[in-house]
């Protein structure tokens, strides 16, 4: 699975919308503030924030232990406004990360004592879902793995049967008096929502039970991003907004990274792109079987870490269109600005993985891949030469990569006549290369400036 963190506001909204025991849950409508917003105008639109209601404001940017870092403020509306103005667009150090504060969440203040704060978390393992509970939550919870009680629910195809028993809940919660029954009901409903919404991690700290109501004061959560096609309607706030997947604190996504992230969210494949150094000389476009890690580690081991420009992958059998868009985006960054006097290197590679579609590999799409690949090469050869991009004899390399990946996958899977396959591959390569030469002669003269970035090396 591909677990991706959501904002606190989105996580709470998902639970408020989908929890079955809504009568127990205090579900306020949080206010979203961004740096530069008109605080007074937003407050006027709020149904609960006024001069008499105390509130809590904190950054909503995947920052851990905000209370410990002085990033939580409780007070009146004027105090909240002053703190928001002071903190907006300022840089803070959290651990080893320095980042800008730009997104905040404002909620009603829930008066309580430290003794009222509880801790609950659910996370997924390969064969089990783990539910953790501890009766002493809050900012000083300490080593929760050592203190919390846990139960494990075995993963099953029968989702309705995946529920903790009454005995397990008794052992998990212990004796908390009047809160025990409320917590049992809440935990069962929370776990049902956890499964239905395809969470992979959900932590509530603190959780407060007071006067028969449950208050979710702080939350951290991750969703299984590959379930997007199943949960497109479920992953909405109560106002119909989409779930927010913010970048890690200290890293603001570039427009290219955001574009690839949007593509990734719409496919079952894995499309990842992180720009490490826009002026770097060494670029990679790799896929399959952990190739991105191997290629990156090798570049670093050989002393190229300071020149490594990107990290990413296009894996999980993306479509030709998705691969085209991924490569186009990568090349647009690689060819921006003035050329590097030493030139640049684009490493194209991958591995044979179990998602290879053997039938499609040597069907019409195989021919299309060669034609499409050579078409794009013809259109941007001038850009490649201008930026001194070394593709390691890219025409030959691309042919060999396509042959090796596809031919080996086919022979391993089918064990058919190898001579016939070799002849077929030879014919396809020859025809495709001739097609490339023709396109080069036709288009190379006048398309260099018009087509600055579209590039494709598609490996089925």
227 & 319 share domain: no
19 & 121 share domain: yes
Decide which of 73 and 410 is more confident.
73
SS3 173: helix
Q: Assess whether pLDDT exceeds 70 at residue 460.
A: no
283 & 431 share domain: yes
In a domain? residue 176: yes
Q: Which of 190, 223, 247 is the last residue of a domain?
A: 247
Instruction: Out of 58-62, 137-141, 190-194, pick the least confident.
Output: 137-141
422 & 279 share domain: yes
175 & 286 share domain: no
CATH number at residue 6: 3.30.470.20
pLDDT in tens, 384-394: 566 666 554 44
129 & 176 share domain: yes
CATH number at residue 75: 3.30.1490.20
In a domain? residue 429: yes
CA distances from 18 to 15, 185, 193, 208, 423 (A): 5, 14, 6, 19, 58
What value, to the nearest 5°, has the Cα angle with vertex 77 and ends 76 and 78?
90
pLDDT at 108: 94
Of the candidates 197, 242, 200, the residue with the CA atom closest to the CA atom of residue 221: 200
The percentage of the chain sitting over the pLDDT mark of 70, rounded to a whole number, equals 75
15 & 91 share domain: no
pLDDT in tens, 249-266: 888 888 999 899 888 878
143 & 272 share domain: no
Q: Which of 231, 247, 263 is the last residue of a domain?
A: 247
11 & 158 share domain: yes
73 & 155 share domain: no
Decide which of 214 and 53 is more confident.
214
Q: Assess whether pLDDT exceeds 50 at residue 395.
A: no
pLDDT at 202: 97
339 & 411 share domain: yes
CATH number at residue 263: 3.40.50.261
* pLDDT band at 193; cut points 50, 70, 90: very high
pLDDT at 16: 94
pLDDT at 140: 85
Average pLDDT over residues 155-174: 89
Q: Assess whether pLDDT exceeds 80 at residue 376.
A: no
In a domain? residue 452: no
pLDDT at 394: 44
Instruction: Out of 256-265, 282-291, 302-311, 450-459, pick the least confident.
Output: 450-459
Average pLDDT over residues 20-32: 84
In a domain? residue 296: yes
Of the candidates 276, 283, 257, 255, the residue with the CA atom closest to the CA atom of residue 340: 283
Host domain of residue 78: 28-109
Alpha carbon distance 254, 452 (integer Å): 19
In a domain? residue 177: yes
Helices (H) and strands (E) in the chain, counts: 15, 18
What value, to the nearest 5°, has the Cα angle with vertex 409 and ends 405 and 414?
155
pLDDT at 229: 80
- Find which of 199-208, 381-390, 419-428 is predicted with most confidence, using mean pLDDT: 199-208
* pLDDT band at 449; cut points 50, 70, 90: very low
In a domain? residue 453: no
Average pLDDT over residues 194-215: 94
Alpha carbon distance 76, 52 (integer Å): 7
Mean model confidence pLDDT for the chain: 79
pLDDT at 393: 40
* pLDDT band at 377; cut points 50, 70, 90: low
In a domain? residue 243: yes
Average pLDDT over residues 443-458: 35
In a domain? residue 151: yes
Q: How many domains are contained in the chain?
A: 3
Instruction: Out of 9-13, 38-42, 355-359, pick the least confident.
Output: 355-359
pLDDT at 412: 37
Instruction: Out of 29-43, 115-129, 175-189, 280-294, pick the least confident.
Output: 280-294
Q: Assess whether pLDDT exceeds 80 at residue 210.
A: yes
* pLDDT band at 164; cut points 50, 70, 90: very high
Q: Classify strands 97-100 and 55-59 as parallel, antiparallel or unpaired.
A: unpaired
422 & 405 share domain: yes
Alpha carbon distance 4, 228 (integer Å): 11
* pLDDT band at 294; cut points 50, 70, 90: confident
Average pLDDT over residues 196-222: 94
pLDDT in tens, 195-205: 999 999 999 99
pLDDT in tens, 324-364: 888 888 888 888 888 888 888 888 776 655 553 433 433 44
Q: Which of 247, 268, 284 is the last residue of a domain?
A: 247
pLDDT at 186: 94
Q: Are 109 and 208 in contact (CB under 8 A)?
A: no
Q: What is the CA radius of gyration of the chain?
A: 27
């Amino acid at each position: 699975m591909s677990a991706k963190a959501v904002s606190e506001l989105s996580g709470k909204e998902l639970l408020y919308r989908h929890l079955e025991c809504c009568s127990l849950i205090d579900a306020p409508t949080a206010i979203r503030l961004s740096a530069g917003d008109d605080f007074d105008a937003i407050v006027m639109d709020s149904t609960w924030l006024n001069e008499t209601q105390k509130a809590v404001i904190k950054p909503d940017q995947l920052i851990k232990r905000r209370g410990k870092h002085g990033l939580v403020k409780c007070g009146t509306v004027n105090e909240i406004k002053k703190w928001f103005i002071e903190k907006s667009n300022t840089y803070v150090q959290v651990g080893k990360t320095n980042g800008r504060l730009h997104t905040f969440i404002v909620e009603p203040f829930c008066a309580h004592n430290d003794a009222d704060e509880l801790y609950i978390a659910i996370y997924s393992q390969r064969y089990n879902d783990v539910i953790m509970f501890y009766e002493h939550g809050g900012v000083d919870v300490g080593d929760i793995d050592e203190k919390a009680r846990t139960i494990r629910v075995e993963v099953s195809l029968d989702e309705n049967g995946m529920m903790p028993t009454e005995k397990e809940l008794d052992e998990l919660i212990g004796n908390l008096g009047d809160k025990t029954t409320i917590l049992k009901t809440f935990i069962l409903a929370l776990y049902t929502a956890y499964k239905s919404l395809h969470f992979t991690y959900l932590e509530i700290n603190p959780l407060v039970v007071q006067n028969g109501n449950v208050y979710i004061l702080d939350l951290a959560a991750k969703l299984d991003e590959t379930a997007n096609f199943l949960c497109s309607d479920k992953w909405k706030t109560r106002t119909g907004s989409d779930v927010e997947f913010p970048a890690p604190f200290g890293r603001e996504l570039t427009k290219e990274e955001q574009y690839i992230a949007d593509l990734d969210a719409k496919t079952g494949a894995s499309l990842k792109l992180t720009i490490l150094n826009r002026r770097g000389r060494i670029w990679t476009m790799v896929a399959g079987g952990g190739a991105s890690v191997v290629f990156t580690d090798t570049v670093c081991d050989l002393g190229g870490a300071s020149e490594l420009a990107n990290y990413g992958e296009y894996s999980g059998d993306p479509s030709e269109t998705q691969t085209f868009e991924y490569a186009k985006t990568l090349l647009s960054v690689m060819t921006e600005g003035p050329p590097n006097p030493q030139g640049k290197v684009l490493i194209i590679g991958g591995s044979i993985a179990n998602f290879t579609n053997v039938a499609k590999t040597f069907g019409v799409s195989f021919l299309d891949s060669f034609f499409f690949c050579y078409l794009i090469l013809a259109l941007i050869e001038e850009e490649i030469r201008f930026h001194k991009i070394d593709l390691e004899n890219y025409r030959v390399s691309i042919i060999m990569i396509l042959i090796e990946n596809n031919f080996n996958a086919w022979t391993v899977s089918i064990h058919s006549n190898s001579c016939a396959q070799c002849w077929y591959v030879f014919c396809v390569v020859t025809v495709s290369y001739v097609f490339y030469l023709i396109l080069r002669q036709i288009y190379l003269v006048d398309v260099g400036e018009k087509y600055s970035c579209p590039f494709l090396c598609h490996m089925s």
